[in-house]
C-alpha cells in the first residue's frame, strides 16, 4: 500500500482441532462468483468454492456482522452454516465445498467508512476486494479466481488482475494488498497511455472540472511517467473520488499486488488550472513503476516517489527548474537523521524518515551515480532496469534486488555503499555542501538561483532535464 500523505491532508480466528482431510496439501483453489446488487439494493450475492481448506472455519476479517445467509450447498441441498465468532463452520470445505452468502455493502460502509474497508460514495461503495471475501485463514498459496455474474455485472469495477480466460485471477497471498473495487453506479472511461490501458472510474458527484477535465489531468500526469520509465508501467484502474467543497487533489493511494488500482480524492471545486500545482497524481502513478517491497523498504517506495514527483513535473513543464530546486532546498533536510533516531531507515516509521529519508537516499544516489559516470548513468537507468527485471508494482521484490540491479546497470557500487552507510548505518549528509557543489543558491523567500561554474552544475541540469551528458 502506497499513499500520499506528506503535508497534505490529514484526511482471528479460533483454531480448530479438526484434522485436515488432505494433510499437508493446503488450500488449492478458491473461486468467487460475485453477483452485484441491482439499483436500490446493497445486498451483494456471492457463491464461493474452496478446495482443500486448511480449516473448517471460514472467516470474514472485516465486519462479519454484515455477512448473512451463509450456507453450504451440497448436491443441491442448502444447509445453513454455523456461526462461530467472526466466522462460519463448514467442515466440507476441507475437501471441497460451495458456500453461498450475502454481504450488506451499505451496512459495511456505514460501520467502516474507510476506503480500505468500504466507503459509500454517491451510489457506489468502494473498498478493497478482500472485505467481501469469506475465506479460510491462512489461505497459503492458493490461486483465487473471481467471476462477476448476474444481470448487474456492469455495476462492478476493479483493479484486480484480469484472467485471459475470463474474470480475474491472483494469488491468495496478494490479498495482503488487495485491489480496490466498487459496486454500484459509476461513470467510466479508458485512457491508453504509451501502450498501457488506464480504466478511470468516476464515483459520486461530478467534479467542477468535469469527467473530461479529470481524465485529461490523469492522462497528462501518466504521460509524465513515460518520460521516466520509457512506457507507462502497467494497466491500472483509477478511481476518482469527489471530496465535496475541497480544491485540488487531496489524497491518493495505490493498492497493487493483486492488480494495479489507484484511488485519487479530487476536491469537487478543483479547476483545471490547479493541475500544475498538484503533486498527488504524479506521485501515485509513479508508484506503479516500482515493484512492491513487502515487510521492508517502505522508505524506498515512498522515497522514490517523493524524489521523482517534482522532477517529473519539472521535466513535463509543470514547474520551473528554479521551483524544483527551491522545493528540494526547503524539504530535503526533513530526511536527515536526528539525534536519538534509530540508525536504520527500516526502523524509522515517521513521515519525514519514510518520505524524505527515502527521497534523500534517492537524491544522493542519483548525484553520486551521475558524478561517478560523468552523467552517462543515473537513477533513471536504475528505475528502468528494475522495472524491466523485477517488474511493476503488481510484482514483489526485495530491497536487495533493487540495490543489486542498480549497481549492475550503472557499473558502480554507489547504491550498495549508500544503502549500507545511509539507509542502514545512519550516516548523515552534508546538504549545504551538496547544494554548493550542484550550484544551487537557496534564498529564503525566493526561487533558487544557480551557479553554472559549480563542480556538479552539469549533474544538476541533467537531473532536471533527464538528459545524459
Ligand atoms: Zn506514496
Q: How crowded is residue 330: how many other Cβ atoms within 10 Å of its Cβ?
A: 12
- Tally of CA atoms within 13 A in the half-sphere of 378 that contains its CB: 20
Residue-number span of the structural domain to which 216 is assigned: 187-289
**282 C-alpha to center of ligand 1: Å?**
10
**11 C-alpha to center of ligand 1: Å?**
15
Q: What is the pLDDT of residue 20?
A: 33
- Is 361 a member of any domain? yes
39 and 62 co-located in one domain: yes
**287 C-alpha to center of ligand 1: Å?**
7
Q: What is the pLDDT of residue 137?
A: 86
Please state, for a pLDDT cut of 90, what percent of the chain lies above it. 84
- Looking at every residue in the chain, the average pLDDT score rounds to 92
pLDDT at 24 over 70: no
**305 C-alpha to center of ligand 1: Å?**
6
**289 C-alpha to center of ligand 1: Å?**
12
Q: What is the Cα–Cα distance from 261 to 450, expressed in whole angstroms?
A: 40
Query: What does the pLDDT look like over 205-217, one tens digit per residue?
Result: 999 999 999 999 9
**312 C-alpha to center of ligand 1: Å?**
15
For the chain, the straight-line distance linking the first and the last C-alpha, in angstroms and rounded, comes to 36
- Ligand 1 ion: residues within 5 Å (CB): 2, 4, 302, 305
Give one DSSP letter per residue of 360-401, joined into a string: HHHHHHHHHHHHHTTTSS-HHHHHHHHHHHH-STTSEE-HHH
CATH number for the domain harbouring residue 285: 3.30.2010
**283 C-alpha to center of ligand 1: Å?**
6
Q: Which parts of 200-338 fold into alpha helices (H)?
A: 210-229, 280-287, 298-315, 321-331
**118 C-alpha to center of ligand 1: Å?**
21
**281 C-alpha to center of ligand 1: Å?**
10
- Tell me the mean pLDDT in the region 153-163: 97
CA dihedral 162, 383, 380, 439 (to 10 degrees): 130
319 and 459 co-located in one domain: yes
| H or E segment to which residue 263 belongs | strand 261-267
161 and 192 co-located in one domain: no
456 and 332 co-located in one domain: yes
- Tally of CA atoms within 13 A in the half-sphere of 446 that contains its CB: 7
**4 C-alpha to center of ligand 1: Å?**
4
**453 C-alpha to center of ligand 1: Å?**
35
- Is 4 a member of any domain? no
Q: Is 156 in contact with 231 (CB distance < 8 Å)? A: no
281 and 297 co-located in one domain: no
Q: What is the pLDDT of residue 468?
A: 56
Give residue 135's pLDDT band: very low, low, confident or very high (50, 70, 90): very high
**179 C-alpha to center of ligand 1: Å?**
16
**125 C-alpha to center of ligand 1: Å?**
24
- Is 9 a member of any domain? no
Give residue 422's pLDDT band: very low, low, confident or very high (50, 70, 90): very high
311 and 257 co-located in one domain: no
**353 C-alpha to center of ligand 1: Å?**
13
281 and 298 co-located in one domain: no
- Is 192 a member of any domain? yes
pLDDT at 233 over 50: yes
| E strand intervals along 185-260 | 186-193, 196-203, 236-243, 249-255
In this structure, of 326-330, 337-341, 381-385, 433-437, the range with the lowest mean pLDDT score is 337-341
Q: What is the Cα–Cα distance from 114 to 15, expressed in whole angstroms?
A: 29
Q: Which of 160, 178, 196 lies at the terminal end of a domain, its last residue?
A: 178
- Is 399 a member of any domain? yes
**291 C-alpha to center of ligand 1: Å?**
13
**66 C-alpha to center of ligand 1: Å?**
31
Burial classification of residue 216, based on how many CB atoms lie within 10 Å of its CB (0-12 exposed, 13-18 middle, 19 or more buried): middle
Q: What is the Cα–Cα distance from 122 to 211, expressed in whole angstroms?
A: 15
307 and 445 co-located in one domain: yes
Query: What does the pLDDT look like over 282-294, one tens digit per residue?
Result: 999 999 999 999 9
Please count the structural domains in the chain.
3
55 and 97 co-located in one domain: yes
283 and 298 co-located in one domain: no
All three cell numbers of 67 = 455477512
Q: Which of 178, 195, 214 lies at the terminal end of a domain, its last residue?
A: 178
CATH number for the domain harbouring residue 66: 2.60.40.3650
**297 C-alpha to center of ligand 1: Å?**
12
- Is 159 a member of any domain? yes
- Is 3 a member of any domain? no
In this structure, of 46-60, 92-106, 107-121, 200-214, the range with the lowest mean pLDDT score is 107-121
Q: What is the Cα–Cα distance from 382 to 469, expressed in whole angstroms?
A: 17
Q: What is the pLDDT of residue 19?
A: 31
Predicted TM-score (pTM) of this structure: 0.93
**18 C-alpha to center of ligand 1: Å?**
43
285 and 300 co-located in one domain: no
**31 C-alpha to center of ligand 1: Å?**
32
Q: What is the Cα–Cα distance from 255 to 209, expressed in whole angstroms?
A: 26
Beta-carbon contacts of 29 under 8 Å, excluding residues fewer than 6 positions away, are 49, 50, 51, 52, 142, 143, 145
Q: Which of 231, 260, 289 lies at the terminal end of a domain, its last residue?
A: 289
Q: Is 144 in contact with 172 (CB distance < 8 Å)? A: yes
36 and 101 co-located in one domain: yes
**301 C-alpha to center of ligand 1: Å?**
7
**81 C-alpha to center of ligand 1: Å?**
42
Beta-carbon contacts of 449 under 8 Å, excluding residues fewer than 6 positions away, are 322, 440, 441, 443
The 3-state DSSP class for residue 211 equals helix
- Is 137 a member of any domain? yes
Angle at 184 between CA 181 and CA 188, to 5 degrees: 70
**416 C-alpha to center of ligand 1: Å?**
23
Amino acid at each position: 500500500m502506497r499513499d500520499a500523505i506528506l503535508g497534505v491532508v490529514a484526511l482471528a480466528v479460533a483454531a480448530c482441532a479438526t484434522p485436515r482431510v488432505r494433510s499437508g496439501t493446503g488450500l488449492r483453489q478458491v473461486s468467487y462468483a460475485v453477483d452485484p446488487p441491482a439499483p436500490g439494493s446493497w445486498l451483494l450475492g456471492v457463491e464461493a468454492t474452496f478446495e482443500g481448506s486448511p480449516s473448517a472455519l471460514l472467516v470474514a476479517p472485516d465486519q462479519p456482522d454484515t455477512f448473512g445467509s451463509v450456507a453450504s450447498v451440497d448436491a443441491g441441498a442448502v444447509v445453513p452454516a454455523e456461526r462461530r465468532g467472526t466466522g462460519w463452520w463448514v467442515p466440507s470445505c476441507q475437501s471441497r465445498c460451495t458456500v453461498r452468502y450475502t454481504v450488506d455493502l451499505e451496512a459495511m460502509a456505514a460501520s467502516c467508512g474507510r476506503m480500505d474497508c468500504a466507503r459509500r460514495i454517491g451510489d457506489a461503495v468502494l473498498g478493497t476486494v478482500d472485505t467481501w471475501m469469506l475465506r479460510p485463514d491462512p489461505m497459503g498459496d492458493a490461486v483465487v479466481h473471481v467471476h462477476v455474474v448476474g444481470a448487474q455485472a456492469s455495476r462492478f469495477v476493479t483493479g484486480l488482475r484480469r484472467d485471459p480466460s475470463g474474470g480475474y485471477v491472483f494469488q491468495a497471498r496478494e490479498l495482503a494488498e488487495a485491489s480496490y473495487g466498487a459496486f454500484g453506479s459509476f461513470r467510466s472511461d479508458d485512457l491508453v497511455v504509451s501502450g498501457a490501458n488506464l480504466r478511470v472510474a468516476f464515483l459520486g458527484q461530478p467534479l467542477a472540472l468535469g469527467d473530461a477535465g479529470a481524465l485529461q489531468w490523469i492522462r497528462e500526469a501518466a504521460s509524465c511517467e513515460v518520460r521516466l520509465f520509457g512506457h507507462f508501467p502497467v494497466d491500472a484502474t483509477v478511481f476518482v473520488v469527489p471530496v465535496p467543497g475541497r480544491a485540488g487533489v487531496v489524497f491518493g493511494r495505490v493498492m497493487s499486488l493483486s492488480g494495479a488500482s489507484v484511488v485519487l480524492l479530487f476536491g469537487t471545486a478543483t479547476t483545471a488550472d490547479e493541475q500544475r500545482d498538484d503533486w498527488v497524481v504524479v506521485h501515485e502513478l509513479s508508484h506503479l513503476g516500482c515493484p512492491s517491497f513487502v515487510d521492508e523498504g517502505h522508505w524506498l517506495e515512498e522515497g522514490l516517489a517523493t524524489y521523482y514527483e517534482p522532477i517529473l513535473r519539472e521535466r513535463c513543464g509543470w514547474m520551473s527548474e528554479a521551483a524544483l530546486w527551491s522545493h528540494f532546498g526547503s524539504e530535503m533536510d526533513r530526511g536527515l537523521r536526528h539525534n536519538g533516531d534509530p540508525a536504520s531507515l527500516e526502523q524509522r516509521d515517521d513521515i519525514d524518515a519514510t518520505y524524505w529519508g527515502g527521497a534523500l537516499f534517492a537524491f544522493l544516489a542519483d548525484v553520486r551515480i551521475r558524478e561517478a559516470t560523468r552523467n552517462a548513468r543515473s537513477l533513471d537507468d536504475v528505475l528502468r532496469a528494475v522495472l524491466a527485471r523485477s517488474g511493476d508494482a503488481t510484482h514483489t521484490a526485495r530491497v536487495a534486488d533493487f540495490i543489486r540491479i542498480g549497481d549492475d546497470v550503472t557499473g558502480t557500487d554507489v547504491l550498495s555503499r549508500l544503502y549500507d552507510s545511509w539507509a542502514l548505518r545512519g550516516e548523515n549528509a552534508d546538504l549545504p555542501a551538496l547544494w554548493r557543489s550542484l550550484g544551487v543558491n537557496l534564498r529564503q523567500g525566493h526561487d533558487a538561483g544557480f551557479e553554472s561554474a559549480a563542480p556538479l552544475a552539469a549533474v544538476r541540469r541533467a537531473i532536471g532535464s533527464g538528459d545524459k551528458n
